[in-house]
């Protein structure tokens, strides 16, 4: 039976066409009829179709020339690299897809390296050849060299028109090895989905044994036993089967309702497969409902998002100014942005958020070490502070190399090295994670006109001179605007933030004093002028004392307003403050 199965993934950079290629596979194999077909069929969320990126992995089973093909469509962004790594463990082969108009990108190289480490058979394909761009054969040779095959083994396809796609499917059948059979009952969880009636549905690859309905089995990482409610495969909708056998990819309905019990990379069965780890959040943001009364709605929304996104972490948080909210952990900035948009789109919730922060290690007086994930908890005068560092890999066309290296003026890029990578230049550097999550992606796209790409991986912690910068508006601390900055940058950043706030904050009926403070020291100060209403406009001539009385009354009213005011910083102001 296993000899008639091929399990594979498509790995590619964002926008290189992996979802469109999956669409053509579904059409050509007759898995989805032309009438039911829609673009990016396997992308489960409207947001994915709109942004053109795949976040949630959607598996599908197809038949091609008597062989069962199981495809996993993986995310293509560094934030989701752990999900990709577990998907690669579930298969024997990978299609490495490269857009001929953009060439080999940084994340392509990162995912290829993961595929090699997993021992996968890699099949190369150049997409969008229908556009007839120059240099296709040169790129074909480059990709062949990268994979270690002859140039003629690299497929030239158009996922849009279907050109060459049947030949690519034939190569999957002929080149990707069939799964090996195992004796122990083992099924690897590579994704999951929440269902009101069936509980959490685990997407699995069976490595050994056979799983059936009503069978008792175990989640190895958490040590929890459960009774299987249902098993089946993806067509791509859920199709019930009697059993899931060795080598197959399908689903197991667990009946478990707690998303923290079903973990990506865990094993269902008699023993745990190697390589499991908990994905760790690297970006931390405190979220508060825009209207104080929406706290319960925000909790319900985050709970629902967590059911299908176990990497999202959140704990209750509170602020004197912003009220009750949640401290959330994300896999990266894209993960954070997608979650914010889902809260708005799917639940109609507007939120106010703190500055994105990273997990700092702080050594306090007396030698006690603690992890600080929220900027407002960073101590005034730590004995020592360490920040997380990433290894950055940038691929850029040679004509933009100078501009990319020029980013050193804005970011603390260290140990910069350059080298050839086919027709591109590879730039390697070390960079503080806090700098990466600010706006590095936007800046890189800007200086390279969108042609450069990057991937990153954490490499540990390094000591740094850091201070907490607080912002006060009208004498009131705004916790969401607190940031951890380098000691040498406190005055410059303080000035930058107060000047930006002066220009961005909406005017109210009293002067808003803006102060940037480090410890008890004011390092920058600005004012937002009052919105002036002409209360004497209706008086034409007449007694001057009447005008004075009205102006005095307005002055007292403004003083009262200052005392009653609640500082409100619109979400778009936070977004603007993130830009350099």
- Residue-level pLDDT, tens digit, the chain, 580 residues: 668 999 999 988 777 888 889 889 999 999 887 667 766 566 554 444 454 554 555 789 999 999 999 998 666 666 777 777 888 899 999 999 999 998 888 878 888 888 888 899 999 999 999 998 888 999 999 999 999 999 999 999 999 999 999 999 999 999 999 999 888 899 999 888 888 889 999 999 999 999 999 999 999 999 999 999 999 999 888 899 999 999 999 999 999 988 888 888 899 999 898 888 877 888 999 888 876 568 889 998 998 888 777 788 999 988 766 778 999 999 888 888 888 888 888 888 888 888 889 999 999 888 889 999 988 889 988 899 999 999 999 999 999 999 999 999 889 999 999 998 878 899 999 999 999 988 898 899 899 988 888 888 889 999 999 999 999 988 888 877 888 999 999 999 999 999 999 988 877 767 889 999 998 899 999 988 877 655 444 555 556 676 666 666 656 654 544 444 555 666 667 667 766 5
The reply, when asked if residue 128 is annotated as ligand binding, is: yes
Report the distance separating Cα 547 and Cα 535, nearest Å.
Answer: 8
Strand partners, 454: 394
In the DSSP assignment, the letter for residue 400 is G
Closest CA to 354 of 522, 446, 468: 468
Closest CA to 282 of 221, 360, 204: 360
In the DSSP assignment, the letter for residue 564 is H
Give one word for 108, left, alpha or beta, with left for phi > 0 and alpha for psi -120 to 50. alpha
Strand partners, 326: 287, 316
> How would you class 259 by CB atoms within 10 Å of its CB: exposed for 0-12, middle for 13-18, buried for 19 or more?
buried
Strand 483-486, strand 466-473: pairing: antiparallel
Report the SS3 class of residue 318.
strand
Domain residue ranges in the chain: 2-175, 186-269, 287-353, 361-463, 467-578
The reply, when asked if residue 20 is annotated as ligand binding, is: yes
> How would you class 105 by CB atoms within 10 Å of its CB: exposed for 0-12, middle for 13-18, buried for 19 or more?
buried
Phi and psi at 461, nearest 5°, equal -120, 150
Q: Which residue has the tokens 């702080």?
A: 362
The 3-class secondary structure across 48-67, one letter per residue, is: HHHHCCCCCCEEEEEEECCE
Sheet strands (E) in 480-574: 483-486, 512-518, 521-528
DSSP 326-394: EEEEESSHHHHHHHHHHHHHHH---EEEPPPB--EEEE-TTS-EEEE-SGGGS-SS-SEEEEEEEEEEE
CATH of domain 467-578: 3.30.70.2570
Q: What is the pLDDT of residue 67?
A: 96
One of 2.60.110.10, 3.20.20.70, 3.30.360.10, 3.30.70.240 is the CATH number of 361-463, namely 3.30.70.240
Report the distance separating Cα 406 and Cα 395, nearest Å.
Answer: 15
One of 1.10.150.20, 3.30.70.870, 3.90.1150.10, 1.10.10.10 is the CATH number of 287-353, namely 3.30.70.870
The reply, when asked if residue 16 is annotated as ligand binding, is: yes
Mention every residue, 6+ apart, whose C-beta is less than 8 A from residue 534.
Answer: none
Strand partners, 219: 224, 268
Q: How far is CA 286 from CA 236, 313, 316, 373, 573, in A?
A: 37, 11, 9, 10, 16
Mention every residue, 6+ apart, whose C-beta is less than 8 A from residue 217.
Answer: 185, 211, 225, 226, 228, 268, 269
The reply, when asked if residue 19 is annotated as ligand binding, is: yes
DSSP 104-135: S-HHHHHHHHHHHHTTPEEEEEEE-GGG--TT
The reply, when asked if residue 559 is annotated as ligand binding, is: no
Report the distance separating Cα 141 and Cα 350, nearest Å.
Answer: 50
Strand 249-253, strand 243-245: pairing: unpaired
Phi and psi at 389, nearest 5°, equal -120, 145
Q: What is the pLDDT of residue 573?
A: 72
Q: Tell me, yes or no, if the two domains 186-269 and 287-353 fold the same way.
A: no
Q: What is the pLDDT of residue 563?
A: 43
CATH of domain 186-269: 2.40.30.10
The reply, when asked if residue 195 is annotated as ligand binding, is: no
Q: Are 124 and 144 in contact (CB under 8 A)?
A: yes
Q: What is the pLDDT of residue 560?
A: 46
One of 3.40.190.10, 3.40.50.300, 3.40.50.720, 2.40.30.20 is the CATH number of 2-175, namely 3.40.50.300
């Amino acid at each position: 039976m296993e000899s008639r199965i091929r399990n594979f993934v498509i790995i590619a950079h964002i926008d290189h066409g992996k979802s469109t290629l999956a669409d053509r596979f579904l059409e050509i194999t007759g898995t989805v009829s032309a009438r039911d077909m829609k673009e990016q069929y396997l992308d489960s969320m409207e947001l994915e179709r709109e942004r053109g990126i795949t976040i949630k992995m959607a598996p599908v089973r197809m038949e091609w020339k008597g062989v069962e093909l199981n495809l996993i469509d993986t995310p293509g962004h560094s934030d989701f690299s752990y999900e990709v790594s577990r998907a690669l463990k579930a298969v024997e082969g990978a299609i490495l897809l490269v857009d001929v108009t953009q060439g080999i990108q940084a994340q392509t190289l990162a995912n290829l390296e993961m595929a090699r480490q997993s021992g996968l058979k890699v099949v190369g394909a150049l997409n969008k050849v229908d556009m007839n761009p120059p240099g296709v054969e040169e790129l074909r040779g480059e990709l062949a060299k990268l994979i270690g095959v002859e140039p003629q083994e690299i497929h030239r396809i158009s996922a849009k028109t279907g050109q060459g796609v049947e030949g690519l499917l034939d190569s999957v059948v002929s080149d990707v090895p069939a799964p090996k059979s195992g004796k122990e009952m083992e099924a690897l969880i590579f994704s999951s989905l929440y269902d009101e009636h069936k509980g959490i549905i685990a997407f699995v690859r069976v490595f050994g044994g056979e799983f059936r309905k009503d069978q008792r089995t175990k989640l190895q990482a958490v040590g929890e036993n459960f009774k299987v409610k249902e098993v089946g495969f993806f067509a791509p909708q859920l199709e019930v089967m009697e059993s899931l056998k060795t080598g197959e990819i399908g689903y197991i309905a667990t009946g478990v309702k707690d998303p923290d019990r079903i973990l990506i990379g865990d094993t269902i069965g008699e023993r745990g497969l190697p390589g499991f780890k908990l994905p760790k959040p690297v970006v931390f943001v405190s979220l508060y409902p825009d209207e104080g009364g929406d706290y319960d709605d925000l909790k319900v929304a985050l709970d629902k998002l967590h059911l299908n996104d176990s990497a999202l972490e959140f704990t209750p948080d509170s602020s004197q100014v912003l009220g009750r909210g949640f401290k959330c952990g994300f896999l990266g900035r894209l993960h954070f942005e997608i979650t914010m948009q889902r809260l708005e789109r799917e639940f109609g919730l507007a939120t106010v958020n703190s500055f994105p922060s990273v997990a700092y290690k702080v050594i306090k007086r007396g030698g006690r070490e603690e992890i600080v994930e929220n900027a407002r908890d960073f101590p005034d005068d730590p004995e020592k502070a360490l920040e997380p560092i990433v290894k950055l890999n940038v691929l850029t066309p040679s004509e933009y190399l100078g501009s990319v290296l020029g980013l050193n003026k804005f970011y603390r890029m260290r140990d910069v090295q350059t080298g050839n990578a086919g027709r591109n230049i590879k730039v390697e550097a070390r960079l503080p994670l806090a700098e990466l999550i600010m706006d590095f992606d936007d800046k890189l796209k800007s200086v390279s006109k969108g042609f450069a790409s990057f991937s990153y991986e954490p490499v540990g912690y390094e000591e740094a001179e850091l201070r907490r910068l607080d912002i006060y508006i009208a004498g009131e601390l705004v916790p969401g605007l607190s940031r951890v900055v380098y000691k040498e940058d406190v005055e410059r950043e303080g000035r930058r933030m107060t000047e930006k706030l002066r220009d961005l904050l909406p005017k109210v009926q009293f002067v808003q004093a803006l102060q940037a403070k480090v410890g008890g020291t004011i390092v920058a100060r600005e004012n937002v002028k009052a919105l002036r209403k002409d209360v004497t406009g209706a008086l034409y001539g007449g007694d001057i004392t009447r005008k004075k009385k009205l102006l005095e009354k307005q002055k007292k009213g403004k003083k009262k307003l200052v005392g009653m005011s609640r500082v409100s910083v619109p979400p778009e102001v936070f977004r603007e403050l993130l830009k350099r």
